[in-house]
Structure 1
Amino acid sequence: MVRKRVVVIGDVQGVFFRNTCRSTARAHGVAGWVRNLPDGTVEAVFEGAAEGVDELVAWAHDGPPTAIVDEVSVRQEEPEGIVGFEIRPTPLGF
């Protein structure tokens, strides 16, 4: 099991990025979450089998058809045993 946190920069809010991310993650059996950040980026955590997580990281470099992804940062983290995949609210005081 692996866990990766990604931050996606570009025109990635208001283009169904989070919903498409959630359905793509579920299709690949990947757990985690995704949320918009106040600075216009999208942050996501992908956790599960390495192959599925890598598929989601690769997907994040393109996103849904209406997204324009300029940059993706990826950070490896320790798995936490997350179950399911959710869309989280934008954090306050970011």
Structure 2
Amino acid sequence: MTAVVRHVMVRGRVQGVGYRAWVDHEARAKNLEGWVRNLRDGSVEAVFAGAEDVVTAMITACRRGPSLARVDAVQEEAGNPDALNLRRAGERFSVLPTV
């Protein structure tokens, strides 16, 4: 299994519904590295790093999200490993402040 880094943007009703906390929980359960944060435009941004099949499964899960969310679109692209440097020191996965 090849390690990959993917950058993901999620649009829809994804703020105020526990989406970041859900992503954090799911990513940690899957032992992924990365981070998630809200954007001021109402979307959610995330970076996932890990085994390709596990990252793909996480992105598939993001298309559904938690029960109160309504996901309209998920954009994904290759991520830059340097993006992992945004995590908090000592954390494999971080919930970052809104930007």
Tell me if TM exceeds 0.5.
yes
Large movers: runs of 4+ above 4 Å: 80-83
1:39 aligns with 2:47: no
Unpaired runs of at least 5, structure 2: 85-90
Q: Match for 2:98 among 82, 90, 94?
A: 90
Report percent identity of matched pairs.
Answer: 42
* Matched positions, count: 91
Look up the SS of the partner of 1:54 in the other structure: helix
Output the aligned Cα RMSD. Answer: 1.5
Q: What does residue 65 of structure 1 align with?
A: 67
Unaligned residue ranges in structure 1 (runs of 5+): none
Question: What's the TM-score, normalizing by structure 2?
Answer: 0.86
Distance 1:2 1:80 in 2: 12
2: CA distance, partners of 1:31 / 1:51: 14
Instruction: Name the one with the larger helix percent.
Output: 2
CA distance in 2, matches of 1:78, 1:43: 14
Q: Partners in 2 of 1:78 and 1:35 — Cα distance?
A: 17
Q: Aligned-pair distance for 1:78?
A: 3.7
